[in-house]
Structure 1
């Protein structure tokens, strides 16, 4: 699952591929924004952990995983 996180006062967004479902990501974001957790903590496919302070989250976009195209076929 591709997740994009916008952080306040930062020009670039954080993009990661996570093995979590959309519902699990939404639940983690909801807990962070409701004050149950101080940090939004997500782990990507390679095992790296991303921590974002809950009060700095501007937006979270949850999308489908991107498929990698191989070869020189038509776009």
Structure 2
């Protein structure tokens, strides 16, 4: 699942591909907005930490895999 994070005063957004559930990511975002940092682990095991005060927006992608090929039509 992709998580897109808009950081204040940065022209580009941060995109993290994670194996965490949407509920776990939403809980981490809510916790970060109350004063702590946003801590996520990407699908390769790397940790991404963003100060909660710098978060502009967070877009949490769906947990479904996209269909590829002619069967998606």
Q: What corresponds to 1:4 in structure 2?
A: 4
Instruction: Please state how far the C-alpha of 1:67 moved relative to its aligned partner.
Output: 4.3
Whole-angstrom CA distance in 2 between matches of 1:15 and 1:67: 17
Whole-angstrom CA distance in 1 between matches of 2:51 and 2:34: 13
Instruction: Please state how far the C-alpha of 1:64 moved relative to its aligned partner.
Output: 2.3
Whole-angstrom CA distance in 1 between matches of 2:67 and 2:47: 23
TM-score normalised according to structure 2 size? 0.83
Give ranges in structure 1 of 5+ residues lacking alignment: none
- What secondary structure does 1:64 align onto? coil
**Structure 1 segments of 4+ aligned residues over 4 angstroms from their partners:** 65-69
Q: What corresponds to 1:50 in structure 2?
A: 48
* Residues 1-75 of structure 1 mapped to structure 2, 5 A cutoff: 1-35=1-35, 37=36, 39-64=37-62, 67=66, 69=68
TM-score normalised according to structure 1 size? 0.81
Q: CA RMSD in A?
A: 1.7
Give ranges in structure 2 of 5+ residues lacking alignment: none
Aligned length: 70
